[in-house]
Structure 1
């Protein structure tokens, strides 16, 4: 083993599960209460039971979503209870009907995570399912970030973070591919059902889950080439999340994009550093030096973006990432290592330092993360063809204005803003971990 590998090994002490765990989180979507009181539609006790349970499960789920400390099993059961009933308003019961006769029976109002308190109102159960699913996915991201807020993160907690982020990515993927195409009137422009917003969430969750994989690879002392490849892939995932938002208004998505940019540059810096370690193992000191220089350049760029993020206005986490342990300990180590390599090159190797940095043509052979497929629950046993037939579709309220003059009145009245969801906060720790890595992942 080349002596320089021992000098570079501190990188493994500073990119760790704890270091990487700093996350930006957007607020939950707010919604207006729904009573599911459809006089005339429900005609007997069985049909009334469906709507009564829909109301109860919806209210319970909305309450649980505000607190990321709840157990994952509890959220999964409650969301399945609600979705299994809601599917009865979406899924056609008979082959002869093009769509469920009750799909437009109930009016729902939801805000969007980036657009403030003005809600979008739709009389569409598919819109309700998409909106609630997005909130559920956001809860999984906040549940994972709750563990990151701790001073120390152990192996089981790291696994929970990884699992929750893949689950969230899968739910966002389900909304994008299965629900959004069914919406008859889908507004773009940074609404949560905008494909660009969903792509950003999918890439963000996948990249953050891969941060855990990367930290584990470092803790288990995998090869420098694998770690470099994983770091590069992680940086590219954050870059794709940023690219997804590029065509949207900077006033709306600017702060979120800064998060993606600082994380992307941060992991590209690590990719260059571990790639340099691999080059040193081959006695390519000149190339390693140039790689370290490029890594420091990416790190410095990320530091500037950290400051921009802290100063940016917009929804989401309020923090100064430059002060967090995931970021602030790496730079000095990289600079000291580069100084050491340059001295040794002058004394031993005498190799020319290239003008262009090494190209990161790295593809991880394993360890890459993908969203976990989300499958909605089966239809609730409270639903049956008989219960469905007992629902009187003729009594379903028609969407939109019903009487002369209502259309003009509707245009004059702007929808009232909904108050933001009161969420339980989890401030991120910026304390140094008690050990080198800040976690026990083994």
Structure 2
């Protein structure tokens, strides 16, 4: 019997020190995942690049860790790019995504010489050409395409199917025209293509199918347009463990399938294998994080359900409300005690849908207990909000038993700072 120890740190003591709700991130876990990428992808295959998909979790401290670990970074907004800039991240290792980049965001990218801009549509291509011309620079771009692959995941996080807001369809009358147009731009260098089939994927067949389609496109464009693909960004989306029915695969499970298929297909069509980029995000940070809450009200409805309410909810973890994401949790101050009942964990927001976990097995529980929700490192802090005027939690980074605050807890004054 005792407290939950998370990568060498006593979570109950962290809750006392920093308060709850509280995001905890393990730097050791993040470093381990980055090392696995280096050993099983970057060092295993030549002409490769790995970039961290920062939308999963980004702070200045996280940017510095990614830089130290030798990975590049994928950003999708001016705010993410600004954070990387502020943290001293090398701009040549930035990949800038987004289906509707604003002119000032593109201008920031062009002025700071980001490594690659992933272009989602012809409108954006024209915008980049105009801005790059203004600064007399040449922007390196990739076209994002929709490979027409339906990944096995929730429909809200599928992105590679034909009917998607992302990317250019693999239709000769569209993609060939776009490539010709880019080749004729004076201030744009088209290097290749990008695809992303979805998120939280546990199979590699979708990547294999997408690679085959992309190599067919590479062959078509070489023969009909004279374009040689130098880079192929295969996206990310590798799944992690949230509940018992989901297990994180090693990065090689995905990357070996991608690389072997690409080598075979390029050989079949007598094509030179391009630089290959991967973009893991959730896979690097998802299981590196937990969120601590304090149990408040306990409501028993005889013969129906027991609700336990915590001091956070959909403001710090909107994923269960958005797309029925499932999490596991433990009572951090009662580790080892036998589960005796099922409870439903409710958030404090004024919404019936603010439920974090249904039917969680717990020991005898009481107000004041500390609940630790597991695998919250990805898309929790980054998607948090001030709904119901709830301040965002603090973020603490732990490493080898030590802890440091990397994001202060918001105050009420912080929330009204920009109001007039």
Q: For the superposition of Structure 1 and Structure 2, which TM-score range results when normalised by the shorter chain?
A: under 0.3
TM-score (norm: length of structure 2): 0.21
Specify which structure has the bigger relative contact order, considering alpha-carbon pairs within 8 angstroms and separated by 6 or more residues.
1
Give the TM-score, by structure 1 length. 0.20
> Which has the greater radius of gyration?
1
More helix by share: 1
Structure richer in strand, relative to its length: 2
